[in-house]
Amino acid sequence: MSAGLEIRALRFAYPDGREALRGVDLAVAPGERVAVLGPNGAGKTTLVLHLNGILQPQAGEVVIGGLPVTKANLATIRQRVAIVFQDPDDQLFMPSVRDDVAFGPANAGLRGVALEERVQQALDGVGMGEHVDRAPHHLSFGQRRRVAVATVLAMEPELLVLDEPTSNLDPAARRELAEILDTLDLTQLVVTHDLPYALELCPRAVILDEGRIVADGPTHELLADEDLLARHRLELPRGFQVHTHPHRHGRVVHAHPHGTEPPHHD
């Protein structure tokens, strides 16, 4: 199951007066995978916290699968929307991996064998099935990130939101996480400033800057526009280029967008 997301004219200012969101409009279709790009301080995390009602809109509205995010709907919304936060140490707070993954579904009322099965299924889904009895603080950082994904998958959400999923990951853990996310059949919002990762995972991207969506389009087009990126403090890694060129897979010659570093030119 996957749910669509609709954000209309969303505004939010923190108590100190700082305006974090100044009218955000965004529609995401069910099953779509969209990258939300933006520099630090653009309002990305504030936007994320609106998606499951941790923050309530001061103006505008957020609708998940046809259901507006309001105080009355919070329980349903939080079951539908799964957020993977930046620091897995914030997300994994129980003494064992099993308890942590069970926390969400148990809050939703699941018990006994059904709960056990749900936990095992979620951990198997991120390749951490054999670590069910470990303590979170005994896992590597990449493993903790994957367990963090499992803790929210166990709630069988319809929209998965990842806040800076690649921060602090080494290249192997980064690739493993991408492979896992690629297998998940639900709507995904990947909030990041890791542009190559966005290109790899998401066909569509939006750029959030100063509390507004300033660009929306195919990820490879956005990333090929250097002026656009520069205006919003976004940069591809040095030497990394996005371009379309015809190439060959076995006997098939076709063209699709690529992110390549110079040594890989073919």
Where on the chain is the footprint of other proteins (CB under 8 A)? 49, 52, 54, 75, 78-79, 81-83, 85, 87, 89-96, 99, 102-104, 106-108, 111-112, 115, 135-139, 141, 144, 151-152, 155, 168
Quote the least distance from Cβ 221 to other proteins, whole Å. Answer: 33
Closer to other proteins by Cβ: residue 19 or 87 = 87
Shortest reach from residue 157's CB to other proteins, in Å? 10
Least distance CB 79 / other proteins (angstroms): 7
* Angstrom distance (rounded) from CA 202 to CA 75: 28
Rg (CA), the chain: 19
Distance CA 190, CA 33 (A): 8
CA–CA separation, 180 and 143 (whole Å): 12
CB of 100 to other proteins, least distance (A): 9
Supply the minimum distance, in Å, between the C-beta of residue 25 and other proteins. 24
CB half-sphere exposure, 161, CA atoms < 13 A: 24
Of 61, 50, 52, residue with least CA distance to 14 = 50
Closest approach, Cβ 83 to other proteins, in A, equals 5
Residue 109 or 262 with smaller CB distance to other proteins? 109
Q: Which is nearer to other proteins, 115 or 207 (CB)?
A: 115
Burial class (CB in 10 A: 0-12, 13-18, 19+), 227: exposed
Q: Residue 226 CB, nearest distance to other proteins (Å)? A: 33
Q: Which is nearer to other proteins, 191 or 242 (CB)?
A: 191
What does the alpha-carbon distance between residue 13 and residue 46 come to, in Å, rounded to a whole number? 10
65 versus 104: smaller Cβ distance to other proteins:
104
**Residue (96 or 260) nearer to other proteins, CB:** 96
- Whether 176 and 146 have beta carbons less than 8 Å apart is answered as yes
What's the closest the beta carbon of residue 200 comes to other proteins, in angstroms?
Answer: 24
Q: Which is nearer to other proteins, 135 or 214 (CB)?
A: 135
Please say which residue, 13 or 94, places its beta carbon nearer to other proteins.
94
